[in-house]
Structures are given as structure tokens and as C-alpha cells.
A and B are shown apart, each in its own frame.
Chain A
Amino acid sequence: MRERITFIQKQGDSIEPTTLKIKGGVLNGPEIQAAREDRLTIAIDELPKDLQALLGTAHELHIRYVSSQPYEAITPLLARLPPGFHLFYTPAGQADATYPALFLALNQLFGGVQCENPEKSFTTLPRDRFSHSAAYQFYQPSVDLSPFIALAKEKLCSSSKDQSCAARADRLTNASSLDISYDAISHAVKLTATWPYQKQEVHATSRPQTRTEVGVLNSDRPGHLEPHELGISGLLTVLGQDKKPSATMFAFASRHRDAESSFSAEFLEPTGLHPTLQLRLESSKPPIEDAYCSPHAYFTLPKTIFADRHQLSDDLFLASKNLTGLRYISQPVDLEAPEYVEKRWGSSLLLELSPPKHEESRSWTAQVPLHLRYLSPAEGGYTDIQVPYPAVFWACAAEEGTKFPNNPFEKANLGYDGLFGPRTVFWHVEPRPTIGNRLSNMIKVPVLDTNKAEWVSGGTGLAVLLGFAWIMWKLFGVLSKSGYQNQPLQAAEVVKAKKNQ
């Protein structure tokens, strides 16, 4: 088991090495303004047996939870996803054989996973173009982390008396993201949690049978930095091994960068059954000058709401919404089914946005037309749904020949990265809501009011019966007056009959 604890400050905010006190596997430091990332790498044979069995059936499994609290991204922790619970999965063998175990494990690890049948709930990801994306995707806007925290305490804390370990697990509640990543090649599970940029004390304690490395880093710009690279400098300490921190400075290529601008997303009023989500971007300028860049929005929409890809195929229509085109949508998306019969979790889509062509940068909007499904009838006639913010980024092409080898803070398999070529760099735009403090919007969806539904069955039946009876009455009137024969014909028959006599 290996542990890596990283405190990351902004550029220029480095601390003096002497302020870090290392004593017997415990590191103490000053209170600093920093983001924090904890990464625990567990070899598969160190895991409990049931989890081993589960992961044995997987080729690749990535669970990514992102908090709906807005947070400022700090280099190099820049990759963003829409807030919520994401799952990317590639089975080792036949998918349907592994589903029951996966389903069971998901429900043990997290509360409120609305995935009764992975076979029907998951959507497939395109694997034809770039093989580095997982096979299946699942998403839901929120999840309960408490079972996972309880499990972490049970398995990771040496004893129930270890208060600091328990407190650390509890802090997962405030994490801005939590990743659980496994792939069959590395044969290890990586648990990565990050906390937002805030005031916090530098502190770390080593644990038995664990190599713990602590870094107090800040982003930097060393002279030899290539345009596609990020620079990091700071202090590294391996607990129980190093007597004092060692200074470090390194640079690495990163596919995720900070565009240093923000956006917000709001629904236009009235929302009706076809709400329009308006994205307001602070800047219309690409983050770098000398590369082809284009802004994109990546959505994971729960099944209550969807985009119609056919509607998003007309150039005039798209242009009127400041959209360039629909680059990807998970297939299939049922355009008619009510929410309560839809089995798939929802849909993911990638939209290319069309910024105004102006010399100077200005704020601009793009409108995303969406459609609501019918929801179950409810008391009061309205049901609130949450629609998560998208991830918005400028996708820029890196120079020919640029390589992006794995870096220590790399995140791959985010749902959208597989939709772009390997030389694409994602310059993330920070979500910053103008109203409220959540990275999601609420819609009040009109539904059938069950309080008023008492008379529907009887009333409908009565109306149909009355209508039916009235027509029956008229039919009876016709039959009793003139039968069902053609009148003149009957007359002719009588004539014929008389002649025959």
C-alpha cells in the first residue's frame, strides 16, 4: 500500500523547508492556503476478498464522484467533470456475467445508487476511434458517500481508537472529488480524493505497512518549460524515511489546463416542458493564440431530461443558439418514453459552442435546447429535478508530435477525453454559478397532480360510456326505423317477391 498526500499552493506561495517538522513518521507544518490531494494505491491482493473477486471480473473500472459545490481548480488538479457520480467500466469478459457482482458492490460502497440492472442502465461508449475509453458509462447526479466512508474506516484505520484516521475518512464528505480507479494492467486500485483550495494545516501521519509520501508543492514556471507543459516545485518527504524534506522541481506535459475564465449555466424562464439551458461564458477568447481551439460543453444528463440529436442537426438552428454542432451523444436516447419506464441512466453529450468573432474578449451565451420526460404523478402537481452543470472547456490541438505520457496527476477516462484525438489539450473553464452555490440547476417539472386524480378513472369512464351510449342510441334509432338494409333495395325485393308469386 502506498500513500501520497499533496498540498498544492498557487504559484509564488511556497513555504520555507524549515517550517516542516518531521518526527517519527509524523509531519507537521504551518497553516497554508492550499488544495489537497490524497492518493492511496492498494495492490489488488491487499484488498478484501469480495472486492478482489469483483475487480477480477473488470478490465477497467473508474468511479468518479464530483461534489456539486463549486471549487477553484489549482494547477495541476485541473481535469473537470460534471458534478455527480460517474462510473466508467470495461468488463474483462462477458459483461452480463459480471453485472450482478458489480451491482452488489456498488450498492455496498455507496448509498442510493439507482442502478437496478446495469445491463439496461449503462450506456455504451464509442470505442471505435480511440481505444482508451471504457466500454460502459453510468451516471447519477448525487450519491451517498457514507457507506464508503464507513468501509474506509473499517478497512483502513488500524483500530477503532485511531481518532485521526477516522476523522480523515470523515473529511471525505467535504471532498471536491473522489476517484476510485482500477485497471487490470497495473493490478492496483487507486483511491484519490481532493479537497478545494482553502486554509488548512499541513499535517500527515504515517501508517503501518504503508509508504507515505507527502508533498507541499506549488505550480511554477521554470525557464525550460514547453508550452504544453506544467511546472511544479516544492518539498517532498517520505515519512519514516526522510529526516528533512527535499526540494523538487519538475515539469510534465498535461492534457488538462486552466483556461483562467469562468462560466455559469441557468435555465431560461419559463422552462415549460422544453427548457433551454443558457451557458454564459466570461471570455470569448481562446486560452492560447497560436493553436486551433474551440469551446465545448460536456453534459451528463439524468434521464429526466434529454437533448434531441435530430433537433441539433440543423445548422441554422444551431447558429441561432451559438452552437456549432453536436459532436457526440450517447446512443440510443429514447425521445418519447416517460422517465418512469426509461431504464438507461440518461445520456451524455458533447456540444461544440460557437463563440462570437470579436477582436476583444467579451462575455457571451450559448443556448442548449433540452426536453423533459413525463415524470410520475405526484402530490401538488410538480416535481423538482436537478440538472448538473456541464464541464466546459476549450479543446485545443497541440503541436504535431507532442506526446502526453502519464503524469503524476493524470486523470484519464473522463467520458469526453476519449472523444478527442490524443493530441488535444483541454483548457477548463471554471463553473461559477451566479445564483445559489451549487453546480446544478433545479427545474420545477409539471406532473399530474395525484391530489386531484381521484375522479379521473370514474370521470373518464363515465364520459366514454355516455358518448358510447349516445351513439348506440342513435344507431338503435336507425335500426328500429329502417333496419340495416338499403331502403330502396327492400322495396325492390318486395316487388320481386310479388312478381314471383
Chain B
Amino acid sequence: MATTSPAAPRPKSKSSSLLSTLFSRPLTLYVSAFLLRLVLLLYGLWQDANSPLKYTDIDYLVFTDAARFVSRGESPYTRETYRYTPILAWLLLPTTWTAGAQWGPLAVKVINVAWFSFGKVLFAAADLVAGWLIEEVLVMGKDFPSSSAAQGKEKDTDEKKEGGRKGPSETASTGMDPSRARAFAAIWLLNPMVATISTRGSSEGLLGVLVMALLWAILSRRITLAGLLLGFSVHFKIYPFIYAPAIVWWMDQERLSGVRAGGGGGGGGGGGQKKTSSSFRKKFTSFLTLPRLLLAFTSLATFLSLNFLMYRLYGHPFLQETYLHHVTRIDHRHNFSPYNTQLYLSSASVLSPSHSAGAAAAAAAAAAEPKSKIESLAFLPQLVLSTILIPLTLAKKDLPTSLLAQTFAFVTFNKVCTSQYFLWYLVLLPLYLPRSSFWTSKRMGLVALGLWVLGQGLWLQQAYELEFLGRSTFLPGLWMASLGFFVVNCWILGVIVGDGGR
């Protein structure tokens, strides 16, 4: 079951001197972000040791069990419900380490607990690095309108060709003032929801740092690194594949320093005039720039070689648990997705022959077959928006906002949606917020935040009645609540899209 937390940013008043000292120097912000996680981590250890109700996320026990299997030379997929890349289990191998007998009994206990917490430390550290990258990207301010640009200031494109991110005039015109950047990075760094999720041992923080590093790498023209990160993160959690079309589309020749002679236009103008076949071919060949090919090659090579390696090591269970499971899964326990009720209904009508005679049930199942098509159609709006239309429209104008909108669309239209998925877009929010309508109109921002929280709250109330009181709230309560939350998300996404096009 999903849980809610206060997630979205709160507008910070400039007059607050406490806040300005917090953000004026990097040390204070990062130390407080670190302390927040340290306190939560220690509190979690205390709660785990003293209460039957555990702070640690069940997923963390799955990861660490899988790591234990790996440490014994077995497959991580021996642990049921381990649905991740083996790399995660490898990363968490230190959680299986134990102290030697030469230490005293108390020391052994402390060392063992410390090793077991290694994963949480890793995830929390990933949070901090992701936060630092947010600041870096905001200060870099390249290739996307800064908050000042949103007010109508245009930048000189010729300067873009000068690769280096510290061009003085550039930072002045588009980059953000570091302390202001830190204030926005704090939305991620000091967010209690983010800190709680990673210190409870959920691996979403790793995705945050991977995605932010990918964006940072591509904005600073480190194409090979970006390819490696893209391939790796898709291997890790599939969904970052939606970023590939946006990044490729964004990689105009003009934007990248290695410009080849000849091809003048990027990917074709907004209103093309001469549309002959030769110009189409020309456009196509000019689209296939060296950096684009390099990115495609490095990311595909990384993705495929990792998968090949894992398949060689762990065989079919790797494919089944990491990838195929997501296609075939029918464990539709209630979640935020608008499709949830429909999926419960159709999965049961197709797959419940157990009580009737075999032949009759088979016939009934065959008759119900077309119904299950709704499930396969559910991919369509999700993928059309997140991999084609949003990147096509927004990527060249504002890459971070495009990535945010794509992720938002992917999560909102997904067949399964839990609150951990919100982290996927939350990490990108600080990059978009400074020049968003939600920031310019604080009232609108508060309304959006309020509706987003309210939508979850209504859903959670219905889910609580179902899960703990045993009331049949599937219809209409839970269904309406998930549709309501979906509508709120769609409205927010629409505003983000509009902002990205400014």
C-alpha cells in the first residue's frame, strides 16, 4: 500500500534570514541534509530494535536477503519478490558482512548493525549527491531558460558552442545564483519524504542520482558518460528509457560543440517550406550526428552488455523477475493508478476458472478475452505522451522540464502507481520550479500542492477502510479517489507542459 508524505515544495520567503543563511553557504545545507538523514537512520535503528512495528522498509529486507544469497554464491532471485538487477544485491554485499570474534560482544553487535545499514547509508548518500547535482545543474543554467529568461530575457546562442560550463557571461545570463540554486535543491535535500524513503532502505534514491547525473552529463556535453548512465539506469529500473528520445532530440548540432560543416538546420524547423524527398534525406542524415550516434551506441552497448552479463550469470530468472514480470504482472493490489479497479475487474473475469468446470471456464475465458485488451491499450497514452509527444514538443526548448513532464506522464498514466514512484519526478522538480507558473503564482502553487496532497489523502482514507477495517471500498470510493487523483495530476502535467513551451 502506498503512503503519503508532504512532498511538494513550499515557497520560501526571501525575507527569512534563517533560510538565507541556510542556503548562502553550501556547508550548512549539506550538513543539515546529512544530519536529517543521520537522525532518521539512527531513529530507525532504535525503532527496529525496540518495536515490533518496523521502520525499515520490507523492500530493504528483500535486497539484503538477496545480497545474502549472492554472498553464498547463489542467485539473488532465490529470494522471492526480488525484482531488481543483480547489481543492487551486489552493491549491498557489505550488509552481509559481520564482525569477527576478536571484538567484544557489544562491538560485534554494533559492527553488525552498522554493516547491515550499509544500504541505507548508500541510498541516503545517493540522495545527497543527487541534491548536489541539482544545484550544479541549476548553477550551470545551460540550454534551458533560467528563471530570469522566463521573464523574457533571451540568450546568445553562439556562446553555447563554447562547451565549458563556466563561461562568465553565460553564468551571468542564464545560470542561477548558487545560494538560490541551493534553496531549490533543498526541495529535494531537506524533503522529509525523500529522506525517509531512503533511510527506510528503499532504493529509489539511487535512481534519483542516476537520472540527475545523466542530465548533468548531457548538459555538460559528456556524451559517452551520458550514454553509460542512460544504459545503466534503464538496466536498473527500465523507466529512464523515456529520457532517451528527449535527449537525442535535444542534441542539435548547434547545441553541441563538434559541429559538422554543411547541415544548417537542426531537426527541422517549426514550419518547413521546401519539403522534397532530397531535403528529407538531408534532414535525416543531418539528424544522425556523431554525438547522437555516440550516445545511442554507448547507451545500447551498456544496456545490452549488462543484460547479457546478468543473463549469463543468472539465466531466465533474471529476465523474468527484472523485466518480464512487469509485462505479465497481475498482482493488482490497490494503488494510485486510475487503471487499478479496471485491472482487478478484467484480470478476475479472464482468470477465474477455478470454480467451474474446465471446458466451460475455458470458453468463458475465451469470451472475456477482448476485455483484457484494455490492459494492453493502457500502454498507449502513457508511451505516446512520455516517449513521443512531450519530448518532441519540449525537449529542445527546455530539457529538464521535458524530462519532468515525461516522468510525470509516465507515473500518472502507469498501470501501477505507488508513492515511491513520486520520487521519480520529485528529483526533477527543483529544476523546473523556479520558472514555473506554480512559482510565479504562489497561490496556484499552493492550490496544486493542496490538491495533490488532498487527492492522495482521499485515496488513503478509502484504502485504510479497505485494508484495515475490511470495508469493500473498491467501488465507488477507491475508484473515484484514484480517478480524482489522476485528474489532479493531469491538470498539473498540463500546466508543466504549458510552462515548458514558454
Contacts and interface: CB of A to CB of B under 8 A. Distances in A.
The answer on A and B forming one complex is yes
Interface of A: 114, 116, 270-274, 310, 314, 316-317, 319-321, 332, 334-338, 340-341, 374, 376-377, 381-382, 444-449, 452-453, 456-457, 459-461, 463-464, 466-468, 470-475, 477-479, 481-493, 496-497
Given A463-B483, A467-B338, A485-B269, 9 more contacts: A116-B358, A270-B470, A274-B468, A314-B52, A335-B81, A467-B490, A468-B490, A470-B491, A477-B501
Given A320-B52, A472-B389, A478 B497 contact: yes
B475 to A, nearest CB: 4
| Nearest 3 pairs of A and B residues by beta carbon | A483-B270, A478-B501, A381-B472
A463 B265 contact: no
Given A274-B467, A338-B332, A377-B348, A481 B501 contact: yes
Nearest to A380: B472
B233 to A, nearest CB: 25
B304 interface: no
Interface stretch (B31-39, B209-217, B390-398, B424-432): B390-398
A463 B413 CA distance: 11
B341 A484 contact: no
A489 B157 contact: yes
A381 B436 CA distance: 44
A53 B114 CA distance: 62
Interface string B434-476: 0000000000000000000000000000000011111111111
B381 A464 contact: yes
B409 A116 contact: no
9 contacts: A270-B470, A274-B467, A332-B80, A336-B331, A452-B476, A459-B479, A460-B341, A460-B479, A467-B413
Given A488-B154, A493-B264, A478 B498 contact: yes
B351 A340 contact: yes
A272 B413 CA distance: 29
A460 B270 contact: no
A487 B501 CA distance: 9
B392 A272 contact: no
Nearest to A472: B389
Given A448-B341, A449-B475, A479 B393 contact: yes
B269 A449 contact: no
A274 B490 CA distance: 33
Contacts of A456: 341-342, 345, 475, 479
B352 A376 contact: yes
Interface of B: 49-52, 54, 58, 61-62, 65, 80-81, 154-158, 252, 254-255, 264-267, 269-271, 330-333, 338-339, 341-342, 344-345, 347-349, 351-352, 354-355, 358, 371, 374, 378, 381, 385, 389-390, 392-394, 396-397, 409, 412-413, 466-476, 479, 483, 486-487, 489-491, 493-495, 497-498, 500-501
Contact of A492 (B157, B348, B397, B486): B157
Contact of B58 (A271, A310, A321, A490): A310
Contacts of A490: 269-270
Contact of A340 (B154, B339, B354): B354
Contacts of A479: 270, 393, 501
Given A341-B351, A448-B474, A487 B154 contact: yes
B397 A486 contact: yes
B374 A336 contact: no
Contact of B498 (A464, A474, A487, A496): A474
B54 A314 contact: yes
A274 B371 CA distance: 30
A347 to B, nearest CB: 13
Nearest to A318: B52
B469 A270 contact: yes
B262 to A, nearest CB: 13
B264 A484 contact: no
B287 to A, nearest CB: 13
Nearest to B395: A484
Nearest to B65: A310
Contact of A448 (B270, B344, B467): B344
A466 B472 CA distance: 27
Given A340-B352, A478-B393, A492 B52 contact: no
B501 A482 contact: yes
Contacts of B354: 114, 116, 340
Nearest to A316: B52
Counting chain B CB atoms within 10 Å of each CB, which of A116, A471, A479 scores highest? A471
Nearest to A481: B501
Contacts of A484: 267, 270, 392-394, 396-397
B3 to A, nearest CB: 15
Contact of B397 (A317, A320, A487): A487
| Interface residues of chain A: helix, strand, loop or mixed (majority) | helix
B119 to A, nearest CB: 16
B344 A377 contact: yes
Contacts of A488: 154-157
B486 A467 contact: yes
A456 B295 CA distance: 43
Counting chain A CB atoms within 10 Å of each CB, which of B61, B271, B344 scores highest? B344
Contacts of A321: 52
A470 B490 CA distance: 8
Contacts of B50: 316
Contacts of B81: 335-336
Given A338-B348, A464-B338, A446 B270 contact: no
B147 to A, nearest CB: 16
Contacts of B471: 446
Nearest to A309: B80
A492 B158 contact: yes
B44 to A, nearest CB: 14
A340 B348 contact: yes
B494 A470 contact: yes
A464 B413 contact: yes
A470 B498 CA distance: 11
A471 B396 contact: no
Contact of B51 (A316, A461, A497): A316
Nearest to A342: B354
A486 B149 CA distance: 13
A496 B396 CA distance: 19
A317 B270 contact: no
Contacts of B473: 446
A461 B49 CA distance: 47
A483 B271 contact: yes
B374 A461 contact: yes
Contacts of A478: 393-394, 397, 497-498, 500-501
B81 to A, nearest CB: 6
B52 A338 contact: no
B483 A459 contact: yes
Contacts of B51: 316
Contacts of A471: 385, 409, 490, 493-494, 497
Contacts of B358: 116
Given A320-B52, A474-B494, A489-B252, A449 B374 contact: no
B348 A468 contact: no
Contacts of B491: 470
Contacts of A446: 466, 470-474
A374 B468 contact: no
Contacts of A273: 466-468, 470
B338 A463 contact: yes
A338 B52 CA distance: 27
Contacts of A116: 354, 358
A475 B497 contact: yes
Given A336-B333, A377-B345, A460-B339, A489 B469 contact: no
A490 B270 CA distance: 9
A447 B474 contact: yes
A496 B253 CA distance: 14
Given A314-B54, A471-B497, A374 B333 contact: yes
A489 B412 CA distance: 32
Given A338-B347, A449-B475, A483-B271, A467 B469 contact: no
B330 A337 contact: yes
